[in-house]
Structure 1
Amino acid sequence: MHEVSSAILSGNATTEDYAGLRLPDSYRAITVHRDEVDMFDGMDSADKDPRKSLHLDDVPVPELGPGEALVAVMASAINYNTVWSSIFEPMHTFSFLERYGRRSPLARRHDLPYHVLGSDLAGVVLRTGPGVTLWRPGDEVVAHCLSVELESADGHGDTMLDPEQRIWGFETNFGGLAELALVKANQLMPKAPHLTWEEAAAPGLVNSTAYRQLVSRNGAAMKQGDNVLIWGASGGLGSFATQLALAGGATPICVVSSPAKVELCRAMGAEAVIDRQADDYKFWSDERTQNPREWKRMGRRIRELTGGEDPDIVFEHPGRETFGASVFLARKGGTVVTCASTSGPVHEFDNRYLWMSLKRIIGTHFANYREAWEANRLIVRGKIHPTVSRTYPLSETGQAAWEVRRNLHQGKVGVLGLAPREGLGVRDHELREKHSAAIGRFRVPAGG
């Protein structure tokens, strides 16, 4: 791996140089182990600790198949799917790998006693398999996390509808929290040259997810002038939703949980911000009973901020804790667009507020290649910015996942792969200087 990282850090290696590099037999990767899937049995979910289940292992380099690429990972990032994988909720991911492994002899590579996690990366292409023509060794890339086969007609209108659609590094093996990663070539996109490796790695999953959820016709099809209620607006997903709303001429109504997060939203340009902790909203009276009075109280607060208007779109991702409120708060004829369920997947809402007010609930999941490409294009052009707050070495991925699990973070938490330190990988210094304040706004000061 030293030869690989030295070539990348030199900044002047050619395609031929990369193609001539000797690949190692193994690489370091963050894994969970099949024989530990029961380690948290009997524990409350809140007590399950990713630091106990995530391992830094040396694993063999996987065989490269047709249409695939082997990428040297300079940096990756933590997403909530890594948290789920690490605590084996709502089910352990080895069931995904087993199912995938039954599909074909090539897919069988993924069914292993360990699972290399991670659904983001920024790095350099080292090898491409048969049939790959767009990408070459030495290309600096990021990867989106949609893995598809496209042998069924169902996926050819929207690849997210492919029956064999999977999330790389969650439902497949050889993910990005590692020194090397195996991806399909149609997951690759250009790295933004004005960003460092850790900055470029962080937006992939969340920016693409937010783009489909808000902007795409497959989601809410947001338009200029829309009021968009965004839960967790300074978090990994919400911070990109906030930026996309602002860039698209909409008005984000940001819901966050601390004064510091209020200030982050204001720094992004949002004016309507609600600190739900300070206002002490309690949407549930107990574990089984929701409190509509609190929905109405928040509705009044939203109308104070918008000049009397309700949200056209509610950007949903917490799930159980907020979903009843989301359905209530959307305007008549409005849209609740949902992905993920970080507070629980079983949602309850009063259907009278849906059917009698002609509202819609739209489910979205990640993004197709076109949507991911458009979302990445906004990053490359400096229209949307990364939200990295803190970066950890690969050996401390467990701590990084624990912080995300406990909601102690803001924006995205990065993880270095082969990059020996932060701040490397910038090629376009002029564009970076133009947007330096926006790029660094989520950064936590050293020791903070």
Structure 2
Amino acid sequence: MPDTPMNLRLARQIHGLSPQAMPPELFAQAHESLTDTLLVAAVGRQQAGNQALRGAVSASSGSARVWFEPHRQMGLQEATFINSLHASSVGFDGYFGKVQAARVCLPAAWASAEHAGRSGLDLLHAYIVGCEVTIGLARCRRGKESGWSETTVYGAVGAAVSTGVLLGLSPVQLAHAIGLAMAQAAGTRQAILEPASSHGLQPAFAARNGAFAAQLAALGATAPSQALEGPFGLSALYHRGNDRDLFDGLFTDWAQLGSSLKRYPVAAFAQAAIEALLHLQPQRFKESEVVQIVAYVSPGIFRYVGAEFSPGDQPQNIGQRNLRYQLAVTFLRGSFSLADLAPSAVVDTEVAAMVRKVHLRVDPTNTGDYAPVTLSLLLADGSEQRYTQQAPPGSPALPLTLRQKQEKAQQCAEFGAIDLNGLQRKLASLPEQANLQGFW
């Protein structure tokens, strides 16, 4: 008897889940990541570039909304795209490994819940399941990185799952939705190596495509039964692995409980280096007393955030993904915040002078994705200050403190121009809300 196709097996497992069977700590983690993503999206909504890009989204009718815009209603796909764009472009949202599932799955889940008139608890359930599928698919990949973005390739599947659950698809329909999302899989890491706005657009494409796949499946569209494991399936063409590993601990171990929150509005690759420099208390030294700032990093960190600093015509994108700039700012300002991503801040002449003192050295024996990172301050008197950061702040090994979470929330609320206390009150009652139509 042939094996059950992976998509159908996955869909059947999803169909058998219920919110009541999920552990309380999972809902607590989902509430935290959901809140974090909404706050980051509030900042992205204020960016002039995103406001311009929204002009490309065709007007549509529907019951889904752009977050923080109560009077702006539109279709499920359009709201999903815009909200994902807002959440993705700032680079401040959480992650698991190299996957940022929330920026893809939450916009799809939220718009779908509004579209289908589902409850807050239904939303949380679908969001959790979509994130777990996204993370699970990424975790079972093996071998050398191919350059595809895990967030967008697998996030589209997670978005399809979240939408499919909220639309009430049958297991067969959900299997087709998963396959249709895989048929649209795309998105590469080149937008990290060459900072560009497409880095924020790719998750928005994935979220929209996943939601659309579920809508198509609801109307009878079909996909190959072996869209994942077939000879021309997702695994064979994108990133090989043992597909059966996906089911080891799926929906029991809950991988997303090991997710990370970012302390700083920069790439995950830069978090540990900034934290290491702050540990050395750079405010103790004048710029003239420092000869060099040297960061000893892994090949992966250097590859993604180690380029020479040149603001060019995209200063904000460079500011988010250039470790040399970020360390120079951290030394001069004593931290790194959203204010340091403003174009005027990135081209500041004082910072440019300090950047020339920042040097990166690759440690070929360091195989870590995000840590460890060793920071060295070489001083004019010949002495050296050195510290090694073993884990990124906000990771399971070094969780953010309550104060650090509050500081991040307040910073996002300020730059996002929203009422933080009001949002937190609404989110506290989200699981009890019968529907989301009055949320915003």
Query: If the TM-score is normalised by the length of the shorter chain, which range does it land in?
Result: under 0.3
User: Which one has a larger percent helix, Structure 1 or Structure 2?
Assistant: 2
User: Which one has a larger percent strand, Structure 1 or Structure 2?
Assistant: 1
Q: TM-score, normalised by structure 2?
A: 0.26
Q: TM-score, normalised by structure 1?
A: 0.26
